[in-house]
């Protein structure tokens, strides 16, 4: 059992060796080890804070993206509605202009028909007048060939002059 119970001398020198190593480590290694652990802890905390900040920024960006997507859909709907209204307005204006042009053409055609009708009536009246004068002239020649007819005609003209 000697192996299991240490002797006092061995215990003393082991304790001195441990304390010497402890003091050397405390003086030269303990501060750098603690500093590196503190820096590592600080780096981890910074990384966690950065990750949280990035996570919140990503959620904010995602919300903004969804908002922009909704806005884009609304703008698309508005643009389509405006385009349809503009198309309908242009078609309506074109139809209205076509009606105005058609009415103008119809009015012009009616005026031309009336003018041509009046011209034809005037021409017919002139022809009838010419024919009437020619017929009257022939009748007068025939009646004035005889002496009695000439005397009757002169008396009639004289009476007309007196009445005027």
Domain presence at residue 150: yes
Closest CA to 153 of 140, 142, 162: 140
Domain presence at residue 2: no
pLDDT digits (tens, 9 = 90+) for 14-59: 999 999 998 998 888 888 888 999 999 999 999 999 999 999 999 9
Q: What's the structural domain count of the chain? A: 1
Per-chain mean pLDDT for the chain: 88
Domain presence at residue 121: yes
- Out of 66-70, 108-112, 124-128, pick the least confident: 124-128
- Out of 69-83, 86-100, 115-129, 138-152, pick the least confident: 138-152
Map tokens 């020649």 to a residue.
141
CA trace torsion 18, 21, 27, 31 (10° rounding): -90
Domain presence at residue 14: yes
Q: Is the dihedral of CA 66, 68, 72, 78 positive or negative?
A: positive
Domain presence at residue 104: yes
Q: What is the mean pLDDT of residues 4-19?
A: 86
């Amino acid at each position: 059992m000697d192996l299991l119970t240490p002797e006092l001398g061995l215990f003393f020198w082991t304790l001195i060796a441990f304390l010497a190593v402890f003091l050397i480590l405390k003086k030269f290694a303990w501060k750098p080890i603690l500093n590196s652990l503190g820096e590592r802890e600080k780096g981890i905390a910074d990384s966690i804070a950065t990750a949280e900040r990035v996570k919140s920024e990503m959620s904010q960006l995602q919300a903004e993206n969804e908002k922009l997507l909704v806005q884009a859909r609304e703008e698309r709907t508005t643009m389509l509605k405006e385009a349809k209204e503009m198309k309908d307005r242009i078609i309506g204006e074109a139809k209205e202009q076509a009606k105005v042009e058609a009415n103008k053409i119809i009015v012009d055609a009616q005026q031309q028909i009336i003018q041509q009708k009046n011209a034809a009536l005037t021409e017919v009246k002139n022809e009838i007048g010419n024919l009437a004068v020619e017929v009257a002239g022939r009748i007068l020649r025939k009646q004035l060939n005889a002496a009695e007819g000439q005397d009757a005609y002169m008396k009639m003209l004289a009476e007309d002059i007196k009445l005027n």
